[in-house]
Each structure stands twice: as structure tokens, then as C-alpha cells.
Amino acid sequence: MLRAQGAWPDRPIRMIVPWPPGGSVDTVTRIFQPRLQEVLGKPVVIENRGGASGSIGAIEAARAAPDGSTWVVVYDTQATNESVMKLPFRTLEAFAPVSLIATGPLAMVTHHTTSYRSFEDVVAAAKAAPDTVNYATSGVGGLSHVSTTLLQQDGGFRMVHVPYKGAGPATQDAVAGHVPLFMTNLPAVAQHLKSGLLRPLGVTTRQESRHVPGTKPFAEQGFGNFEAVTWWAMLGRAGTPAPIVERMHAALTQVLNEPAVKSKIEEQGADIVASGPEQCGSFLAAEIEKWGAVIRKAGITADS
């Protein structure tokens, strides 16, 4: 049915993942990629272009020709990077939204050998000895970093940020016990939570998440109405012909709603949204505004 919509795609499709293998963006993309290429009838080639909190791969995608041959799968750093660093593009100008793929909670996790049993334990330790408790994130300025900064502001305590070049490397060190705390989205650590190697201490949703049962939201651990939702989205190059964007959206939505694909992604700790392009664009705009205000207030920069 999709082939009847025109000649596109007439060549292999390049799917940029602006993160190293092993992180959540890579994990989510590799779940839907096999079926997407079957539906489109052309190979979908994943290209990992990690670095600088996802900005290197995003810059590469922003330079691509708007012909439907290059797409990019991004997550929450796409909304925070332009407030944290100087980029040669603005997200809403450089890209054509395709779909908000999924959303989910962030979680603060710890190695099973630590004494932390809740985030309240972490706060107590940080207040007793400011700037001595380390926590990892996938990089400077991402939602994991910015939301933990907001928690510290609201709670009156200070921790030490240890940024990594992606969730994959950070997960490796968290599992090895090299860093005591890790604020992350769930796809990066789902298997380690199930195995018990990592223990969840709090989630960023307002209510308890079905993906981390029994784990209190930060909002129930002394942080009022705190909320920070992580997300994944597919974008194309701005100027890509509307029929091509619509066809990619139709193919992606079909795949994401297939039970086998949907269940595999949701097993990772994400909830499928599969929104339309307009809804995706409105969501991006709201996230850029919301977290940009927090970043400016906290003075977070790429060097912080």
C-alpha cells in the first residue's frame, strides 16, 4: 500500500542515531528498524554518530539534503542542547517533525551494593557532605542532568555531576559500581533493574510508573509536583517534501503499533505514543521552552 504513494524511497535510507551503541536511542531504533525497512521496501541503515550530548549527530542530520534519504532519531537532549551550547541550527527550523515515538520516566538508580534505599537517603548524604556524592548522566545538559539540577535546587543539596558520552558508557560504569548513582531513562538500564544489579531510588513521573513498580516518584519524596518526562522522536530535514514526511510517518506509525514492536519497546520502560508530525512539533516546542528556562536559571553550559 505504501509503495503506491510514489517513487520514494528509491535508495537505502540513512537513519542517524546521535549516540553510541547501547544507549536508549540506539536500543529503541534497533527495535523498530527491521520492520520499518520491510514496510518501506528499502534498507534502513543505522548510523551511530555519538558525541556532545547528541549534538554531533544532530548537526550531521541538519546538514543533510531534504530529499528523504536521511532521518534522525533523537531524545530529550534535542530540546535542551540549544539552550546549553551554541549550535549551527535551531531544532524547530532545521527539522521536520515526523513522530513522537514514545515517552517514559527517568529514574535515579544505584548499584545494588550501595547503602542507598531511596532518594531520601541520597539527599541526606549530600546534605551531610556537600559536593561529595557523584551521579552519572549520559551527558551535560540533557534532561537527566537538568532535572537532577532542579532537584538539587528545590531540595537545597549539592551533588557532583559526572557526565558521560552517552548512556551506554554510563550504564557500563554504573553496572560495574564505578559510579554510585545514575540518572537515566529506563531503556538503558531495564535489563539491569530486572536482574537486580541496579536498584531504582526514584522516578520523575508524578505518579508511580508501571515500568518501575514500587519505586516512589520524586514528587512523593519531598519534591512537590516535580515532573520530567523523557522521550524519543523521529525527525526529518526541514524542506523534505510533505508527501515523503507523511509516508515515513505512516510507515513508522504502522510499525510502532504492531504488537511485537510495541511490546519490545514498552518492555524497555517506554510508552508508545506514535504521534503525528504536528503533535510532535508542538511537544518539542513546549519542551524547549520549559527546560530552556531551567537551564538559563541554573547557568548550565556545555562546560558545566
Contacts of 202-207 spanning 24+ positions with Cβ under 8 A:
202/107, 202/108, 202/118, 202/119, 203/105, 203/106, 203/107, 204/105, 204/106, 204/107, 204/147, 204/228, 204/229, 204/230, 205/105, 205/229
CATH superfamily of 104-220: Periplasmic binding protein-like II (3.40.190.10)
Same fold, 2-103+230-298 and 104-220: yes
* pLDDT of 88 strictly over 90: yes
Tens of pLDDT, residues 241-291: 999 999 999 999 999 999 999 999 999 899 999 999 999 999 999 999 999
Cα–chain center distance at 173: 19
Per-domain residue ranges of the chain? 2-103+230-298, 104-220
Write down the CATH superfamily of domain 2-103+230-298: Bordetella uptake gene, domain 1 (3.40.190.150)
Model confidence over 99-133: pLDDT tens digits? 999 999 999 999 999 999 999 999 999 999 999 99
pLDDT the model gives residue 3: 40
pLDDT of 173 strictly over 70: yes
Question: What are 199's strand-pairing partners?
Answer: 110
The HSE-up count of residue 121 (CA atoms within 13 Å, CB side) is 14
Determine if the pTM surpasses 0.75: yes
What integer is the mean pLDDT of 149-165? 94
